[in-house]
Amino acid sequence: MAKNGDKVTVRSVSGKTYEYIWKDTPSSGAMKDVYFSPDKSYVVAFFKDPQDANAIDRLQNLVGTYRQGIFGGPGGDYWKKIYCWPTDIVREGNKVAIIVPAYHKEFFFTYGSKTLDIKSGEKEGKWFTNPWHRYCNLDAREVGDWHSYFDICLLLARGVRRMHMAGLAHSDLSYKNVLVDPVSHSAAIIDIDGLVVPGKYPLDVTGTPDFIAPEVYATMHLPKSDPNRKLPNGNTDLHALAVLIYMYLLCRHPLEGKKIWDVEDEQHDKTLAFGEKAVFIEDPTNKINRYNVDWVRNNQPKSRLPYMLPWMDLDKLPYTILGPYLKDLFDRAFIQGLHNPSMRPKAFEWEDGLIQTMDLMIPCQNPNCKQKWFVFDNSASNPKCPFCGTPYKIPLPVLNLYNKANTSYKPTGMRVMVYNGTRLYQWHANPRVARNEKLTGEQKKSLACFQFHQGKWYLRNERAKGMTDLQTKQSIPAGSIVELKDGVQIRLDDENSRMIYVQMVNK
């Protein structure tokens, strides 16, 4: 029998050797006991229960074909940041283990909390979705600002999109199975060994309560063999993804509202509220589940109210503060698609919506604002930060993007807000370039930046070759600047590139 600290060597099915340090009390979850390699670069995770042939086959597919498909191609390394993907399988007698890269170091707390002993603990997603945790229990240096969570959501959406592209479903996406770091704006999807692989029986999981899709909840009482029983799949992932994004951005649960369905039995109440009867708390046409501030006061512990209330005040921080793109996606996820899985937005749509929304974000002018960013609201005459109420006091150029269409230009519906620090990139100028993992180093360099000087806004061309003022027909060579005024039309790059139409608001 191994002793604490002993080095154990194991050989994988493919013939590679791995080492781990024995511990009498390893890190452990519901299903696995986890041991670290001597250099802590990977872990050996033993399943507590024996795995049958189907399970081993499924794992083999994951570490083999599917891993190769995602990581093997050009740019495959990109995904190493986003997934903690098992790399190999070990069999020891009747025990099966997987080799998994260790979580990256940014996913362990540096400061943790001023009151709790969680320094070096894992930055499990749950710490950041409950505002009491985020703004009371965690050290302020751990929580980033509002922009951090948009970036995190973008990475999660991207991670889910890539998985779905490969035909895989995660099946248990939740704040337990993602690690996030608001400080470095990173996120990673973990617990990949539970993925649903086409043609293989899925794992016996129903998921994590807050993220289980309504159709799964509603049929959970049926036996697994019943054809009406709904099991986790790509569409249930899309529900979980929408819930995750809503929770990271708004610190509240989209379905956890005021309506009580069963006064006698709390468990049954939740099963109905998240299943068969689920209603979006902000559904504009069905307000049955919507709560107000008084209800929140009555339903949250007093000591937590200062942290919960700003976020749970649905009148002050409605989901429309996320801007038109995300509002539209949430309507599809939580109204049209809530009980109609095929209507839910796909992961790539969340990606696009988040990217377009980030272009609408401007920095709050209050240096003490905790959120530091907000989404510009086109319909408000006096833009102000929804979190701290500080008005935005300087002129705000809005760049409307137009696509070249034969000899004229057509609106794309995309907009970019200009603040000190806004940059335009290839993916703004060139309709064939998308902001995703395929960007080359060259494409990641900005084309233009903006400066506010003595009350006026200027665009500075950094490297675009064919930038032109379309009204004066004058070229704007790299290195030169041009003032932004109402109505100015600038072609961003070559003949086929997009045009920006400048609109000055908040003058």
Ligand X SMILES: Nc1ncnc2c1ncn2[C@@H]1O[C@H](COP(=O)(O)OP(=O)(O)OP(=O)(O)O)[C@@H](O)[C@H]1O
Put residue 370 in one of left, alpha, beta given phi > 0 → left and psi -120 to 50 → alpha: alpha
Cβ(321)–Cβ(375) below 8 Å: yes
Cβ(171)–Cβ(339) below 8 Å: no
Asked if residue 221 binds another protein (CB under 8 A), the reply is yes
* Contact pattern for ligand X over residues 15 through 54, marking x by CB under 6 A: ------------xxxxxx-x--------x-x---------
Can you give 24-70 as a three-state secondary structure string? CCCEECCCEEEEECCCCCEEEEEECCCCCHHHHHHHHHHHHHHHHHH
Task: Please state, in angstroms and rounded to a whole number, the distance separating the CA atoms of residues 326 and 389.
Answer: 22
Segment near another protein (CB under 8 A), from 6-14, 78-86, 264-272, 438-446? Answer: 264-272
Residue 452 binding target from another protein, ligand X, none, CB below 5 to 8 Å by type: none
Segment near another protein (CB under 8 A), from 127-135, 225-233, 372-380, 499-507? Answer: 127-135
Asked if residue 405 binds another protein (CB under 8 A), the reply is no
Helices assigned H by DSSP within 122-265: 126-129, 131-132, 146-165, 214-218, 234-250
Residue 265 binding target from ligand X, another protein, none, CB below 5 to 8 Å by type: another protein
Sole binder of another protein in the list 3, 17, 24, 30 (CB under 8 A)? 30
Q: Tally the residues of the chain.
A: 507
- 56 burial via Cβ count (<10 Å: 0-12, 13-18, 19+): middle
- Residues in the interface with ligand X (CB under 6 A) total 16
Q: Which of 144, 135, 145 lies closest to 114, judged by CA?
A: 135
Q: Which of 145, 115, 105 lies closest to 128, judged by CA?
A: 145
**Nearest-CB residue to ligand X?**
29
Pull the structure tokens for residue 481: 């600047």
Asked if residue 99 binds ligand X (CB under 6 A), the reply is no
Residue 49 binding target from another protein, ligand X, none, CB below 5 to 8 Å by type: none
> What values do phi and psi take at 48, rounded to 5?
-70, -35
Asked if residue 102 binds ligand X (CB under 6 A), the reply is yes
Sole binder of another protein in the list 79, 217, 419, 457 (CB under 8 A)? 217
Q: Which is nearer to another protein, 122 or 328 (CB)?
A: 122
Q: Would you tell me the crossing angle of helices 146-165 and 347-358 to the nearest 10 degrees?
A: 150
Residue 34 binding target from another protein, ligand X, none, CB below 5 to 8 Å by type: ligand X
What residues from 270 to 329 belong to the interface with another protein (CB under 8 A)?
270-271, 274, 295, 298-301, 303
Segment near another protein (CB under 8 A), from 7-15, 109-117, 182-190, 376-384? Answer: 109-117
Residue 121 has a CB neighbour count (10 Å cut-off) of 14
Asked if residue 103 binds ligand X (CB under 6 A), the reply is yes
Task: Please state, in angstroms and rounded to a whole number, the distance separating the CA atoms of residues 46 and 52.
Answer: 14
Least CB distance to another protein at residue 288 (A): 12
Residue 486 binding target from ligand X, another protein, none, CB below 5 to 8 Å by type: none
DSSP classification of residue 202: P
What residues from 234 to 263 belong to the interface with another protein (CB under 8 A)?
260, 263
- 382 burial via Cβ count (<10 Å: 0-12, 13-18, 19+): exposed
What residues from 171 to 200 belong to the interface with another protein (CB under 8 A)?
176
- Residues in the interface with another protein (CB under 8 A) total 37
- List residues near ligand X by CB under 6 A: 27-32, 34, 43, 45, 84, 100, 102-103, 122, 176, 191
- List residues near another protein by CB under 8 A: 30, 115-118, 121, 124, 126-127, 130, 132-133, 137, 176, 206, 208-209, 217, 220-221, 260, 263-271, 274, 295, 298-301, 303
